Structure 1
Amino acid sequence: MKGFLAKILLNMKAMSKRKRPDLKVPAPYMTEQEKILYNLIQSKQDLGIWSWDIKRETSLPDNVVDKSLKSLRSKLLIKEVVNVQFKGRKHYLASEFEPSSEITGGKWYNDQGFLETEFINFLKDQCLKHIRNLKIATVDTVANAVRRSRVLKIDCSSQEIGDIVRALVLDNDVIEMRSNGLGEFASVPTGRMCYKCRRSPDAMKEPRVGVMAWIPCGVCPRIARCMPGGTISPMTCEYYSKWLDF
């Protein structure tokens, strides 16, 4: 008897589940023009699309596109985002996507599309400090040192730290070179790009003396084959050119 009642209860429960109405929220109604625009914008995923390109690709009249975009925004199906490369343009993204770093500029820009100068300068100082402490550093060793220091409230990837380190090279604060695996480069695999500070903080306050100590020829494994007009030559050496710029 108990088994029979249990079967009845299970059957009733299954029937109630089948009869339960679908609670999914229906998609907002869209006109045919809105569907065309929405499908185009959605197809661009996290890159989105510029309003002018929307008009060009759909061939719809400008007033129809403008009206449809406004309607789609009011229905929360699309959103307008700032493109840091072209701030004056209206750029649209389907609401389910977050804009790519190519559009937003990543951590280097705020929500309004302006460069985060204070944050970038702070991160430059941190990277320069760690390169100075490490003597010879790679992007990965600098990134690991920054993470261990816990001075940042947000995590920066090795690629982002690499952007900052290369900015330091452009600022002439850091020298970029490839490891030859010898001497001071012994800790870095041969051929790996690495970085060192040009001068110590104290030296930067003094006249530049002893610059020859920085010449890359001193650690070059091919110095014996280097000669003017040869396959390996000071005229074609990128590291020698960078040293001359210093």
Structure 2
Amino acid sequence: MSRGPSSLKRKQPDSRSPLESLTEQERILYNVIRSKQGIGIWLGDLRKELNIPDNVAKKFLKSLEAKKLIKLVANVHSKIKKHYLATEFEPSAEITGGAWYADGKLDTGFINILKSCCLKVIYNQRVVTLEGLSDAIRRSGLLTVDFTTQQIEEIAKTLVLDNEIVEVESNGVGEFDSILVGKVCYKCTSKGSRGDPITGAMASIPCGVCPRISDCTPDGIISPKTCRYYTEWLNF
């Protein structure tokens, strides 16, 4: 039996870009996810926002993942919930936990080491600016791992909350004579901690070592309600 020319034709691959090949429903879903940028969106919230059934949402998400337009990322606040981001974005610190998390777990060891280093420097220098604190720790060789000034600032803020140090502004007089007037500085409290391991009530709960505690609010992205470490501590 002879075959006509039409029967010999092969289906040509789709030369359109992934975005161009989206159906209307897929495009709506993709635009919602993309609009969330680095925060991304949880599957449950996505379904509510678009008012679509679970099976329909999963079908479109699977298609978008196959086209490499979105990706599934881990959320440190809930490893059970599926969280999606557009592939062009990197997950924000609110999702990953930032530099304070290693493999999805709060790196309490690193946090406590940084706290101890900060306290040692502040105790020895009596009063120090954020920049001076960061530089002193780098020069001291107390840490063999890299860190940022922002991390030191977050650690300093937790030490203020722990009442280990106080935050003051320079008046340019006495112990502040080498610091510009109005510059924020840190001093040890009357307890005069030398940077020994932190103990006490706050040290026994995750909040005591969490550098994001200043960002923690009852209804925020970072909150006691969503913190699995706080929940585990309560259930211990």
Assess same fold via TM > 0.5: yes
Query: If the TM-score is normalised by the length of the shorter chain, which range does it land in?
Result: 0.5 to 0.7
Question: What TM-score comes out, normalization by structure 1 length?
Answer: 0.63
Q: Distance in 1 between matches of 2:43 and 2:51?
A: 12
* Counterpart residue number, 1:221: none
Q: Distance in 2 between matches of 1:88 and 1:122?
A: 31
- Residues 164 and 183 from structure 1, CA distance in 2 versus in 1: closer, same or farther, beyond 3 angstroms? same
* Counterpart residue number, 1:43: 35
- Residues 38 and 135 from structure 1, CA distance in 2 versus in 1: closer, same or farther, beyond 3 angstroms? same
Contact 1:82 1:111 in 2 (8 A): no
Q: Distance in 2 between matches of 1:93 and 1:203?
A: 42
Instruction: Count how many residue pairs are aligned between Structure 1 and Structure 2.
Output: 179
Task: Report the alpha carbon displacement of residue 152 of structure 1 after superposing the two structures with TM.
Answer: 4.2
Q: Give yes or no for the alignment of 1:108 onto 2:103.
A: no
Name the amino acid aligned to 1:43. Answer: S
- Residues 149 and 74 from structure 1, CA distance in 2 versus in 1: closer, same or farther, beyond 3 angstroms? farther
Task: Please say which structure displays the higher CA radius of gyration.
Answer: 1
Task: Report the alpha carbon displacement of residue 177 of structure 1 after superposing the two structures with TM.
Answer: 2.2
Q: Distance in 1 between matches of 2:140 and 2:68?
A: 41
Name the amino acid aligned to 1:32. Answer: E
- Residues 64 and 123 from structure 1, CA distance in 2 versus in 1: closer, same or farther, beyond 3 angstroms? same
Which is further off, 99-108 or 146-155?
146-155
Q: Give yes or no for the alignment of 1:96 onto 2:96.
A: no
Q: SS of the residue aligned with 1:177? A: strand
Question: What TM-score comes out, normalization by structure 2 length?
Answer: 0.65
Specify every segment of 5 or more residues in structure 1 that has no aligned partner in the other structure, as ranges.
Answer: 1-23, 205-246
- Residues 202 and 93 from structure 1, CA distance in 2 versus in 1: closer, same or farther, beyond 3 angstroms? closer
Q: Distance in 2 between matches of 1:77 and 1:39?
A: 10
Q: Distance in 2 between matches of 1:202 and 1:191?
A: 26
Q: Distance in 1 between matches of 2:176 and 2:84?
A: 49
Q: Distance in 2 between matches of 1:80 and 1:163?
A: 29
- Residues 25 and 119 from structure 1, CA distance in 2 versus in 1: closer, same or farther, beyond 3 angstroms? farther
Q: Distance in 1 between matches of 2:130 and 2:194?
A: 21
Name the amino acid aligned to 1:193. Answer: V
Name the amino acid aligned to 2:83. Answer: H
Specify every segment of 5 or more residues in structure 2 that has no aligned partner in the other structure, as ranges.
Answer: 1-14, 198-236
Q: Distance in 2 between matches of 1:109 and 1:73?
A: 26
- Residues 30 and 111 from structure 1, CA distance in 2 versus in 1: closer, same or farther, beyond 3 angstroms? farther
Q: Give yes or no for the alignment of 1:66 onto 2:66.
A: no
In the TM superposition, what whole-angstrom CA distance separates every residue of 1:136-156 from its partner, at most 9, and x where no partner exists? 011121122233345343331
- Residues 202 and 101 from structure 1, CA distance in 2 versus in 1: closer, same or farther, beyond 3 angstroms? closer
Task: Report the alpha carbon displacement of residue 133 of structure 1 after superposing the two structures with TM.
Answer: 2.6
Name the amino acid aligned to 2:92. Answer: S
Contact 1:136 1:194 in 2 (8 A): yes
Q: Distance in 2 between matches of 1:110 and 1:202?
A: 24
- Residues 60 and 162 from structure 1, CA distance in 2 versus in 1: closer, same or farther, beyond 3 angstroms? same
* Counterpart residue number, 1:8: none
Name the amino acid aligned to 2:167. Answer: E
* Counterpart residue number, 1:57: 49
Structure ranking higher on relative contact order (CA contacts 8 Å, 6+ apart): 2
- Residues 200 and 42 from structure 1, CA distance in 2 versus in 1: closer, same or farther, beyond 3 angstroms? closer
Identity of aligned residues (%): 51
Q: SS of the residue aligned with 1:119? A: helix
Q: SS of the residue aligned with 1:137? A: strand
Q: Give yes or no for the alignment of 1:191 onto 2:191.
A: no
Name the amino acid aligned to 2:145. Answer: K
Name the amino acid aligned to 2:26. Answer: E
